[in-house]
Structure formats: C-alpha cells, structure tokens
Structure 1
Amino acid sequence: MNDFAGRRVAVTGASGFIGGRVVERLVLGTGAEVRALVRGYGRAARLSVLPQERLTFRAVDLDAPQSLRKALDGCDLVVHCAFGSRGEVDDRWRTTVDGTANLLDVAKLAGVERLVHLSTVDVYDTSGLRRFDETAPALGEDADDREYEQQKAAAERLVLAAHGDGPETVVLQPGVVYGPWGGQWTVAQLTRPAEEFEELPVTGAGGACNAVYVDDVVDAVLAALAEPAAAGRKFLVSGPDEPGWGEFFDRLRGIRGLPAPAGTPADGAVPDWEQALYASPARVDAALAARLLAAPRTTLDEGMTRTAQWARWAGYGAPGGAGR
C-alpha cells in the first residue's frame, strides 16, 4: 500500500471515532504529513500522545469556508469523517450537508487531488432485501425529513456529483462500525442500562448486523486514497464474517459480564424503531470493496476481543469480561 511519503493528508472529524483512528494509522503506519482538523482541541487529547513530527492540528468550522481554506492549504488528500452530531436538526444538517458542500468547494480551490468521504450503509432503501450491494435502491429523498439518514444521503450525493470537477472523490459506506473509542455501537452499548439487554437479540436471533471493526474501515480509507480504480465510486464496507445482531449483543454481554436474558424482559425498554433495526435481514455484499480496496480481515471474535481489552482499560468492561 502507498505509504503517502511526502504527501499531506487532511482529516476532518479527527477527534471522532473513525477520524481519530485514521489519524493514528496515518501517523504510525505511513510517511504522510497529517493535518488533523477538529472543531475544538478539547476532544483531541487522544491524539496528543502520537509523534508530533508529522502531525499538526487545525481548528475548523465546516460552516466557515475561511477556516477551511487555511486548513486545506497545501494538502494533497482529504479524508472527510466529520458530520453534524450536535445541536438541533437544522444545525446538524447545516454541518453535514452544507459543510460538505463547503469542503468540496475549498478542496477544489486548494488543488486537493482526492477526497475520501465517510458515508453510511443507511443511505440505501433495503426494504424487502435479504442481500444488497452498491446497485441497491437509494433512500428516497424526503424534504420533510432532515435526520441522520437523509443528511448522510444528501452529503453523499454532493460528493459523488463533485467528482470530475475538482478533486477525485470516493465514497465509503460502512455498516455497524465498532471498536475502541467507538460511540453508538461500542461505548453507548457498554453503558446502556443492563435491563435493556433483556430485550436485545441473542445468538441465533435477530437480523443481519453488518458489523465491521474500525481498523477494517481504516484499511478501506487508506486504499481509497491511493487506488486509481476507486475514483468516482462508492463502496459498501463490512466485516469478513456475517454475524447476526444476536451474536453482536452476546459479545457485548460478555464484555460487560451480563447474563443471558432470563426470558422476562421489561417490555418497552428498547423502542420499536430499534427493535425493527435488529430484525432486518438485509445483508451487505461488500465484494466490490474487497476486490478494489482492502479485503476485511477482522472477524467479530477478533474485533470483540480487542474491544474487550480496550473496554477494561477504559473502565467500561467488567473485570475479567471477555469478547465472547
């Protein structure tokens, strides 16, 4: 894989889960000069322990093109991980969608060669599907819905449309990303009320999880920065095995030291919309990413073992808790 020696790579959302790991891997595993773009420095402490010779930080606001212009000056490549996660829905939309438009405009002016955008599997309409790839129907546009899925779909459309008029663009669409420092599918699950696990699936139950360990996502990012054939394309990214939601939650039960459900759940602890998510049979076919980018290597067992080790260090796991 290209080690990016002599190349300057900017990473938006560098203080977040995936963005932070992209920065770590670039600094520790390549020769790139890395520019970590963050909203504020307070959440960047995780990156402060990295060697600083090829790492610099810039405070940016995606809503403010002027700060982006300074941040992207001299950059060859961009990894766009940031999205709106704070404030009211209009604030989040502005950061995710309008912020992406601003980034694309500034990247063009700065002469950026390629931009890799982190999207999500949620941009597809998988109703009635048991397996789907990049040719599946897109989520329908809904002007009255400005929540996460519509935000990410709108931002993705902008990125794909920009290819050929500025930097080359590549879109990655990961599934359920978990691992050390993870938010929704790691820390949130390790800290949710234990009684809710009485209503969550067990091994052999539930639909398709489409779990992918964070390092497999970063492998795809690094390959997408360098692979000529990736330009202008979108890629679903999922793990090498195909666990169900029951397997996923049983690994989390193991990390937390929780017993198997007793069969008497407190009905209503897990909302209907979430239960519907865990029932969906739609399974990602990530063959295109495996062929053109990086084949995923981390099984659920391996990923959850690493996550359990981190959870114990971070104070989230039960003493002696395991990933299986």
Structure 2
Amino acid sequence: MLNNKKVLVTGADGFIGSHLTEELVRRGYDVRAFVYYNSFNSWGWLDHSPSDIKSSLDVFAGDIRDPYGVKQAMKGCDAVLHLAALIAIPYSYHSPDTYVDTNVRGTLNVVQAAKELGVSKVVHTSTSEVYGTARFVPITEEHPLQGQSPYSASKIGADQIAMSFYTSFQTPVATIRPFNTYGPRQSARAVIPSIITQIASGQRQLKLGALTPTRDFNFVLDTVDGFISVMNSEQSVGEVFNIGSNFEISIGDTAALIGELMDVNVEITTDESRLRPEKSEVERLWADNSKAKEMLNWTPKYGSKEGFCKGLEQTIEWFKNPLHLAGYKAGIYNI
C-alpha cells in the first residue's frame, strides 16, 4: 500500500482527475496535482474542490508535452497516476497532430522520467476506444486493438509506449482501461452531459449523433476506485485492466432513460454534425471486468441498470444546480 506516500496525478484539473485527486486526499495520501499551465492560474475543476482539500494539495502547473516539466513534477513522488490527455474524438479528426504530441509524447515523458527517477508505480490511463467496434462481447483485455479514430490510435500508441518501458526497462507500469466514464463535471462533448444539459436548459427536442451504438457506462466514483485499486496492487505491474460496469445500453435508450429520470418527454433528432465518419464509429462496447474483480478485488458499485440509474440520478442532480449548469453552453455542439 502507498498510504502516506507522495502521489502525482497528471490531468488533475480534469473531470476524472479532479474526482481522483479529491478521493486520494480523503484517503490520506500526500497528493501533487499536475494541472495544465494557463495565465489565469486556474486549476480547472480543482478550483471547485472543498477548501480543506485545496489547502492540502501540492499543485504543479505545467504541460505534459514538456519532458523537463514532467520530470520536475515527478521528483519525490512514489507513484504517478497519468491521466493527462486529449480525449475528444471529434476534435481529433481535424487536429490529430496535437493528439500524438499530447497522448503519445506526453506518456513517453512520464515513463521516461519514471525510469530515470525510480518511481515505484506508474498507472497509465488507456480507454475502451482502443478496442474499436467489439469483435466479441463482453470485451476482455485480449480483444484486438483497432484505431478507428486519430484519438484511439494515439491512445493505442500511448499504451504501447507505456508497456514497452515495462518490458524493456522493468519500469513498474500498470494500465487501466476505463470504459465510458460519466458523472458530475464531465464535459458536454460527452453524450450523457449533452443530454442532461439540453433537457435542464429547457430543450425538449434533443440533438444527438448516432443512437444505435452501445456503451458500457461507468460512474466516475467506480472509475476512481479502479485507479486506486490498480495503484495499490502489487499484481498489477505489467498488466492491463478493464474498468467497466459490465452493463450495455444504447445511446438512444440512454437518452430515453435520462428523460424518464428527469420526468420529461423528449424528442430525439439526429444532428449530422455530431455523427462520426461511418467507419470511425465504434458500434459496440461492453466490458468484461472479471480480471479487475479477480486480481484487484475491484467491483463496480454502480453496475447493472439499477446502478446506472443511481449514477444518472446523482449526475442529473449536479447538472441541474443553476451554478453548475451556467458553466455549460447547452445550445452549442461542443466537440
């Protein structure tokens, strides 16, 4: 166990990263939060954290693409949870170069520094998008990797770079592969916040992309628990773990369920600008999470349809808060 040890979280200012950072502090870890440098001195979502959590953080502002800054941030740290990445799929269609720079080179910077500094554990963040459209379900960690978008291709590259340092230099790398995480603070470029914010702002004709693809949605608190479980497991080094709910639902059914939970009748229209190119759309994702259960003793608390409804209710409640909703532009498609 790494309790009382120094843990660096890259991407700590983001959706999952902020939840993870807060939970680590609550569990008694000494946390250094790597946030993206900006002239506003913003810590992203960490700006909204409780004051007792903010006051206990060691915040490092930098850029994951800068090897010098990354190494400086990692000095004195026992473990690194590497979440910093560009993740929006539509944006990767017109700016693929920056995805390679951020996701592949950024990951190289982390594992290179870990090797040189002798860091005890690196948890590298993958994504279920690396599997592409499922060839078999539920998807195990042995499923072929298919780069169906520049984003997923960059994450496949990052995954391979990270694992190559384990096989080449015995760098203690473990890879976590979360399926579609959702929850409070998520960007409206993702489908669940897009649905909720449109309804909460008074719209009843929802604009969405493809409705038939299925996803395995994972509530953010389960994803956070997965990160900490991977970090603390001695067995996880050199391994890849799916973190998913093992519950599959279509985008169309998800929208209908959210409408039901928000007690409104909605009409769904297809917005052509939200559709992925045909061969780039990932049609089906459904996680086999048995490896994480067996090796990490991790189990989703929000699995099954009942758990999904519980997670959605908490997410809806957060987004309906006028202070939170005001931060979203529900009428604009956010890529």
TM-score when normalising by structure 2: 0.80
Contact 1:96–1:152 (Cα < 8 Å) also in 2: yes
Question: 5 Å matches for 1:247-266?
Answer: 247-254=253-260, 258-261=264-267, 265=269
Paired residue for 2:17, among 13, 19, 26?
19
- Give the partner amino acid of 2:10: T
How far apart, CA to CA, are the structure 1 residues paired with 2:170 and 2:209?
A: 49
Paired residue for 2:325, among 294, 307, 316?
316
Q: Which residue of 2 aligns with 1:57?
A: 59
Tell me the CA shift for residue 282 of structure 1. Answer: 4.3
Decide which moves more: 106-115 or 178-187: 178-187
Q: How many residue pairs were aligned?
A: 303
- Map Cα deviations across residues 17-53 of structure 1 (whole Å, 9 max, x no partner): 111111010011x121000001124124124634356
Matched, 1:32 2:40: no
Q: What SS class does the counterpart of residue 205 from structure 2 fall into?
A: helix
Question: 5 Å matches for 1:191-202?
Answer: 191=197, 195-197=205-207, 201=211
Tell me the CA shift for residue 246 of structure 1. Answer: 3.5
TM-score when normalising by structure 1: 0.83
Q: Which residue of 1 aligns with 2:152?
A: 149
Q: Which residue of 2 aligns with 1:123?
A: 130
Q: Which residue of 1 aligns with 2:106?
A: 99
Runs of at least 4 residues off by over 6 Å: none
Q: Which residue of 1 aligns with 2:245?
A: 239
Tell me the CA shift for residue 80 of structure 1. Answer: 0.5
- Map Cα deviations across residues 80-110 of structure 1 (whole Å, 9 max, x no partner): 0001358932123201111110111112222
**Matched residues, percent identical?**
24
Paired residue for 2:48, among 36, 46, 49?
46
Q: Which residue of 2 aligns with 1:306?
A: 314
Decide which moves more: 56-65 or 13-22: 56-65
- Map Cα deviations across residues 141-174 of structure 1 (whole Å, 9 max, x no partner): x9xx7x2111111101111111152531111111
- Give the partner amino acid of 2:291: L
Q: Which residue of 2 aligns with 1:159?
A: 162
Contact 2:141–2:241 (Cα < 8 Å) also in 1: yes
Tell me the CA shift for residue 226 of structure 1. Answer: 0.8
Paired residue for 1:284, among 287, 311, 334?
287
Matched, 1:297 2:307: no
Taking a change above 3 Å as real, the CA distance of residues 194 and 233 of structure 1, as seen in their structure-2 partners, is: farther
Contact 1:240–1:297 (Cα < 8 Å) also in 2: no
Q: Which residue of 1 aligns with 2:220?
A: 214
Where structure 1 has 5 or more consecutive residues not aligned to the other structure, the ranges are 318-324
Contact 1:93–1:151 (Cα < 8 Å) also in 2: yes
Taking a change above 3 Å as real, the CA distance of residues 79 and 14 of structure 1, as seen in their structure-2 partners, is: same
Contact 1:32–1:54 (Cα < 8 Å) also in 2: no
Tell me the CA shift for residue 310 of structure 1. Answer: 0.9
Tell me the CA shift for residue 130 of structure 1. Answer: 3.8
Q: Which residue of 1 aligns with 2:144?
A: 137
Q: What SS class does the counterpart of residue 171 from structure 1 fall into?
A: strand
- Map Cα deviations across residues 111-142 of structure 1 (whole Å, 9 max, x no partner): 211111111011114354343211111115x9
Q: Which residue of 1 aligns with 2:86?
A: 84
Q: Which residue of 2 aligns with 1:170?
A: 174
- Map Cα deviations across residues 213-238 of structure 1 (whole Å, 9 max, x no partner): 01111111001001111111111111
Where structure 2 has 5 or more consecutive residues not aligned to the other structure, the ranges are 327-335
Contact 1:125–1:136 (Cα < 8 Å) also in 2: no
Contact 1:18–1:218 (Cα < 8 Å) also in 2: yes
Q: What SS class does the counterpart of residue 84 from structure 2 fall into?
A: coil
